[in-house]
Chain A
Amino acid sequence: MIVTKQKDLESIICLIQKDPVFIVGCSQCATLCKTGGEDEIKKMVSILKVKNINVTGWVLLDPACHLLNDKRILKSYKDKIKKAKKVLVLACGNGVQTVAEIIDNAEVIPGLDTLFLGEIKSVKEFEKRCNLCGECIQYLFDGLCPISRCPKNMLNGPCGGSKNGKCEVSKDLDCIWEIIINKLDKKKKLFLLKRIVEPKDWSKSLVMKR
């Protein structure tokens, strides 16, 4: 899932600048991580009203990254969007762009920060799992990804900063290499890590269309 986080309210309000605003949410990822679902949209509406900002309407797209769907749905909100000067999108960075591709009378502003592609660990806990690198090499690491989970992209074992299972960058982050080693050790397959993993082919990450 694409994991997002709401921008702080002050900067959202600063971007709206008291203009009339139409709000867009997304039924999928942003709903699941509670940043752009129906509940969050309604909450945003009431917050903005308190700040004396005119909300001309809102809609939940299904999902926001679907161009043709968005075109169809937004058509029926034409009048409400026309009254707005800003469209606040509570969806991932893709959702913002798809909406901006359709709307031309108002300025489209992002209400969320798009963080990563990650796992839902529990209702409010999400963890990064993939950098969309274009060529999945998890077969080398028994279903674990050091590209997205090691801040230094180490492919040949842990750096010198790994301590007590934690990453040198943050005590809140498990060192993915400790996890890889423990997993393979349990399976008596540690020898797999002795081969040198060659430099990654980053040209694979340049694909822009499919």
Chain B
Amino acid sequence: MNYTSNLEKVLKTKGFAVTAEIGPPKGCDAEKIKAKADFLINCADAFNITDNQTGVVRLSSIGGSVILLDMGLEPIMQMACRDRNRIALQSDVLGACAVGVRNILFVTGDHQCFGNHPNARGVFDLDSIQLIKVVKDMRDHGVFQSGDEIKFGRPNVFIGGAANPFADPLSFRVDRLEKKIFAGVDFIQTQSVFNLERFNCWMDEVRSRGLDKKVFILAGVTPLKSLKMCERMKFHVPGVDIPNVIYNRMKNTSDPKKEGFDISLELIKEIKKIKGVSGVHITALFWENIIPSLVSKAGLL
């Protein structure tokens, strides 16, 4: 059997994968990515390189992905619709594929007003669902969005997407996942799970529609490093749902790092039991060095 990527192989043969996020630096120092990646080398099956996340300018996801490839690691290159029109997006898919990127995850992207260039013009020529379909058509049918033929090499990529089980309205959240699957997504990474109850509701609906059989779902996990970070995420980051139980635990502890770590461990344990979940996606913002002990304690290695 030929697999597009190692991630696909792990998902299809082992049934459970671990991915971890590496945020590129605000600058062109490749060592920053290499140092993070060195640390995480045996912790995950593939590594997300984010694309100017929250609208803050950073080293590009395509550049970051090449750095990982040079180290022998497998990137999941992220691409957002915010900064490029369909011409640039398709061109970058081809370019990334040519240099060896095999997983690309497509998102619409956070609005530019949250970033460090709030005066920028947002592009949003395509939304994530449209982009996923465009890339599927490029890969499987050899055509660009315009219908023009791809002459010299179709991009063979494992197509990823995001899902937020916690945003409103709930029922439509599963509809949107269904649309993404219909558009051609192969795997999904969810928004970080803190609210297990809500995540379970979403997964119940996902399973009842048989969607877990059609797409690999990796549940997001984010270890909370401090009360400040918890508060920022709870109150200021769009789409994040941190229930009060967790907020209070972070508030009342004398050792927030340990508490945040323990919460993540517990969440991973619970997530592993949920039928239809094919892995975890760990995002440890500015706390990447916690990932090795997290995956080893959680028995994910």
**Which residues of A pack against B, CB within 8 Å?**
151-165, 168-169, 175, 178, 181-182, 190, 193-194, 196-200, 202
Contact = CB atoms under 8 A, between A and B. Distances in A.
Given A160-B239, A162-B167, A202 B183 contact: no
A198 to B, nearest CB: 7
Interface of B: 81-82, 86, 108-111, 113, 122, 124-127, 129-130, 133-134, 145, 162-164, 167-169, 172, 175-176, 178-179, 182-183, 191, 238-239
B111 A163 contact: no
Contacts of B239: 159-161, 163, 168
A158 B124 contact: no
B129 A156 contact: yes
Contact of B179 (A156, A162, A199): A156
Interface centre among B82, B133, B145, B169 (most CB of A within 10 A): B169
B172 A194 contact: no
Contacts of A168: 110-111, 238-239
B238 A181 contact: no
Given A169-B111, A178-B169, A154 B127 contact: yes
Nearest to A164: B168
A182 B168 CA distance: 11
Nearest to A166: B168
B168 A157 contact: no
B168 A162 contact: yes
Given A163-B167, A196-B182, A199-B130, A158 B172 contact: yes
A163 B173 CA distance: 12
Contacts of A182: 169
A197 B130 CA distance: 8
A169 B122 CA distance: 13
27 contacts: A151-B113, A151-B122, A152-B81, A152-B109, A153-B124, A156-B130, A156-B176, A157-B176, A158-B169, A160-B162, A160-B167, A160-B191, A160-B238, A162-B169, A168-B238, A168-B239, A169-B111, A169-B113, A178-B168, A196-B133, A196-B182, A196-B183, A199-B86, A199-B125, A199-B126, A199-B134, A200-B125
Contacts of B134: 199
Contacts of B81: 152
B168 A165 contact: yes
The 9 closest A-B pairs by CB, nearest first: A161-B238, A160-B164, A168-B238, A160-B239, A156-B129, A153-B124, A157-B176, A160-B167, A161-B239
Nearest to A161: B238
A16 B145 CA distance: 50
Nearest to B184: A196
Given A157-B172, A161-B111, A164-B168, 16 more contacts: A151-B111, A151-B122, A152-B108, A152-B109, A156-B127, A157-B175, A158-B172, A160-B162, A160-B163, A163-B238, A168-B110, A178-B168, A181-B169, A194-B178, A196-B183, A199-B126
A102 to B, nearest CB: 32
A77 to B, nearest CB: 39
Contacts of A181: 169, 172
A169 B113 CA distance: 7
B245 to A, nearest CB: 19
A192 B81 CA distance: 24
A159 B178 contact: no
A149 B2 CA distance: 45
Interface centre among B113, B176, B191, B239 (most CB of A within 10 A): B176
Contact of B110 (A156, A157, A161, A199): A161
Interface centre among A156, A164, A165, A168 (most CB of B within 10 A): A156
Contacts of B183: 196
Contacts of A175: 168
A198 B124 contact: no
A152 to B, nearest CB: 5
Contact of B145 (A156, A157, A159, A199): A199
A152 B168 contact: no
A163 B133 CA distance: 26
